[in-house]
Amino acid sequence: MTQLTEIHGVVQDHYGAIAESRSSCCGANGCCDDASNATLLYNAELLDGLPADVTGLSLGCGDPVTIAGLQPGERVLDLGSGGGIDCFLAARQVGAAGSVIGVDMTPAMLAQAHANQQRMGVTNVEFRQGQIEALPVADNSIDVVMSNCVINLAPDKLAVFREAFRALRPGGRVAVSDIVTEGEFSDELRADLSQWAGCVTGAIDAADYMAQMHAAGFTDIAVTDKRSAAEIVPIQPGMPRVYSARVTALKPTA
Ligand SMILES: C[S@@+](CC[C@H](N)C(=O)[O-])C[C@H]1O[C@@H](n2cnc3c(N)ncnc32)[C@H](O)[C@@H]1O
């Protein structure tokens, strides 16, 4: 089994290089990083007014902000916030009375997010450096945990779900877009860390994903709207079905 720290290192190098170069990684390396990815994922009205520096660093596989159905005043946490696109969209919806925390482990990605924040003059977003398996966030302090194409990259998904559960207030909810599979990757494909970093071979079967969320304490877990991820990540013959899915769940009130 590949060491967890080795996976973190490869993933961090991959996204650090994207943040530094801002060049397209569509194709062989996985998630797209040009504005066409944002156009593919989000409603045009939602993106209205966002600078090209933000839409051009959209690396997700869905639209967790719309899944979340955010209300003014809510406190939102974005796991793996990248260049910040979902944080900035959420910030508009929760308004001045609400707040958004974006957590990412890659310094160059955080630098892009901070630069974008300054350029936009957004004051209700805070970006923090950290791993989503050990969130730098207080217990029971968050109304909505969202994430866009990141949990598939985490080598210990149960730790991520446990941390999301800890950070959410009782009654809080999860709104995630992520890559899941129907079936398993071979050990050989799992060991291909370049494809792992490209949001492909770190993905797990949807049933296993739901079981791990359940083990962390979540209820009302749903993995729905599974769409082939072929437009978003490179899929090869011999792989299981790979989907971009919407994932929702609740932290029970008692
Ligand atoms: C595919 S990009 C998605 C970025 C953003 N959510 C978006 O939609 O544009 C994955 C991001 O997650 C971060 N990331 C991956 N694994 C992480 C982990 N274990 N802890 C914290 N951040 C992580 C990477 O640094 C990168 O910025």
Predicted local confidence at residue 79, as pLDDT:
98
Q: How many Å lie between the centroid of ligand 1 and the Cα of residue 104?
A: 6
Q: CA–CA distance from 86 to each of 11, 66, 179, 183 (Å)?
A: 20, 10, 17, 29
58 in contact with ligand 1, CB cutoff 6 A: yes
Q: How many Å lie between the centroid of ligand 1 and the Cα of residue 78?
A: 10
Q: How many Å lie between the centroid of ligand 1 and the Cα of residue 43?
A: 22
- Among 55, 86, 105, 110, say which to mutate for ligand 1: greatest number of ligand atoms within 8 Å of CB: 105
216 in contact with ligand 1, CB cutoff 6 A: no
Q: How many Å lie between the centroid of ligand 1 and the Cα of residue 13?
A: 11
200 in contact with ligand 1, CB cutoff 6 A: no
- Among 32, 34, 150, 247, say which to mutate for ligand 1: greatest number of ligand atoms within 8 Å of CB: 150
132 in contact with ligand 1, CB cutoff 6 A: yes
Q: Which pairs count as long-range contacts for 165-168, CB under 8 Å and 24+ apart, including other chains?
A: 165/216, 165/217, 165/218, 165/251, 166/135, 166/139, 166/140, 167/77, 167/135, 167/137, 167/138, 167/139, 167/140, 167/141, 167/142, 168/140, 168/142, 168/143, 168/144, 168/251
Q: Which residue blocks in 22-76 are alpha helix, DSSP H?
A: 35-41, 44-47, 52-55, 64-68
Please give the Cα distance from 141 to 58 (Å, whole number).
Answer: 27
Q: How many Å lie between the centroid of ligand 1 and the Cα of residue 131?
A: 9
| pTM of the predicted structure, to 2 decimals | 0.94
The position carrying tokens 């779900």 is 161
pLDDT per position in the chain (254 positions), as tens?
468 899 999 999 999 999 998 733 433 333 444 567 899 999 999 999 999 999 999 999 999 999 999 999 999 999 999 999 999 999 999 999 999 999 999 999 999 999 999 999 999 999 999 999 999 999 999 999 999 999 999 999 999 999 999 999 999 999 999 999 999 999 999 999 999 999 999 999 999 999 999 999 999 999 998 899 988 888 888 899 999 999 999 999 97
- Identify the CA nearest to 209 among candidates 172, 254, 242, 252: 242
148 in contact with ligand 1, CB cutoff 6 A: yes
- Among 39, 104, 133, say which to mutate for ligand 1: greatest number of ligand atoms within 8 Å of CB: 104
The position carrying tokens 């170069």 is 21
Atom 14 in ligand 1: residue holding the nearest Cα: 80
Q: Which two tokens stand for residue 182?
A: 């129907």
Domains of the chain: 4-250 (3.40.50.150)
Q: Which residue blocks in the chain are alpha helix, DSSP H?
A: 4-21, 35-41, 44-47, 52-55, 64-68, 85-94, 107-120, 157-167, 187-190, 193-197, 206-216
- Among 153, 195, 232, 247, say which to mutate for ligand 1: greatest number of ligand atoms within 8 Å of CB: 153
Q: Which helix (H) or strand (E) holds 180?
A: strand 168-182
Q: Which atom of ligand 1 is nearest to the CA of 109?
A: 27
For residue 22, how many C-alpha atoms fall within 13 Å in the half-sphere facing its CB?
11
Predicted local confidence at residue 28, as pLDDT:
34
